[in-house]
Structure 1
Amino acid sequence: MLPEELNEIDRLAHYYRSALWTALSVVVCMGAFAIALLGFPDTQAGGLARTIWPMLTIVCVIAVGGLQAAKKKADIDPMGNAVESMLGDELYKASLNRAYRNGFFGVLIAQFLLIAASVWIGFAQPVATTACATLVAGVAVTLLSLLFYDR
């Protein structure tokens, strides 16, 4: 089916999945660089992250610009009936609740694993590294769950 033949709800669903994948990619990339900067500043990974970190702002701007261009190309009205029907859908609400629950359990499991890793590996700044990694894990698990449960 060609993109021109898709109805508004199909275009919205395609845009929604693209936005979720973009958000997941940006969060994981920024989180990985932040963890490298905080946990291993004197290693080669920390040096690479320190060098590339300023360019991540440009990547974020490009990602947001790409999403705006995709929204304009898909001709999606943010206040339209398609958005209201998607947000009011019971299956969407159920998948959102399951994704939040998975994100919560992901954060709990990440806390245990990161505390053990900070003892065994020895991060340069263990509290900040653990907090950053927990945040990234929670958001990543929530977004991945939402992508998985999305119909």
Structure 2
Amino acid sequence: MTQEKMNSDVLVRISHMSLWILLATILYVGSAMLVLLLGDPETAARGRLALVMLPVFNAIAFGALLSKSGKAKCARSPQMRAVMNDELRQMALSKGYRNGFFATLVTTVVASLIVALSGVEKAPAVIMVLVITVGVSTMLASVLYHDR
């Protein structure tokens, strides 16, 4: 599909697909890191294997994205810039940032209490991975929900 033939609906779908890929990657890496930090040695070995397979999954996902978009320069096209600068997209982004911020605040408090009461060995690392994963995932999911 050439850039001239792409309408805004196709570009929005391509943008949503890239956000879904990013959300899946964040959840995948966050859960693998939590398995590495909290699991026993056998489970941690499986978590390391999952992290080793991440580039393969990303290559497949981004290959599918590029084949759907048609050109690698689609993100820099004037049509895609117009879609990204759309008022509805900007509103969805601001709602996503807000929801991600509040999810980060709540997760920090809740995770700190749970980790402190349960006596986890690597508490700061667990809290950091959990807060980042929940915050970014909430932001991306909120943008996907509120976007057109």
Q: Per-residue deviation at 1:119? A: 1.9
Q: How does 1:43-82 map to 2 (within 5 A)?
A: 44-72=42-70, 77-82=74-79
Q: 1:34 touches 1:132 (CA, 8 Å); kept in 2?
A: yes
Question: Aligned partner of 1:80: which letter?
Answer: S
2:109 corresponds to which residue? Answer: 112
Determine helix, strand or coil for the equivalent of 1:70: helix
In structure 1, C-alpha distance between the alignment counterparts of 2:50 and 2:85, rounded to whole Å:
41
> Residues 2-151 of structure 1: matches in 2 within 5 Å?
7-40=6-39, 42=40, 44-72=42-70, 77-151=74-148
TM-superposition CA deviations, 1:73-121 (whole Å, max 9, x none): 7x97333332122122212111111110111101001101111221233
Aligned-pair CA distance for 1:54: 1.3
- Please, what TM-score do these two structures have when normalized by structure 2? 0.85
Gaps of 5+ in 2: none
Give, in whole Å, the separation in 1 of the partners of 2:25 and 2:9.
Answer: 24
Cα distance between partner residues in 1 of 2:59 and 2:122: 29
1:8-46 deviation per Cα after TM superposition (whole angstroms, max 9, x unaligned): 211101111111111111110111000110233x26543
**C-alpha distance 101-47 of structure 1, shift in aligned 2 (>3 A):** same
Tell me how far apart the structure 2 counterparts of residues 50 and 84 of structure 1 sit (CA, whole Å): 38
Report how many residues are paired: 144
Q: Which amino acid aligns with 1:25?
A: A
Cα distance, 1:36–1:121 mapped onto 2, change above 3 Å: farther
Query: What TM-score comes out, normalization by structure 1 length?
Result: 0.84
Q: CA deviation at 1:7?
A: 4.9
- Segments of structure 1 that go 5 or more residues without pairing to the other structure are 1-5
| Aligned Cα root-mean-square deviation (Å) | 2.1
Following the alignment from structure 2 to structure 1, what is the Cα–Cα distance between the partners of residues 9 and 52? Answer: 36
- After TM superposition, the runs of 4+ consecutive aligned structure 1 residues lying more than 6 A away are none
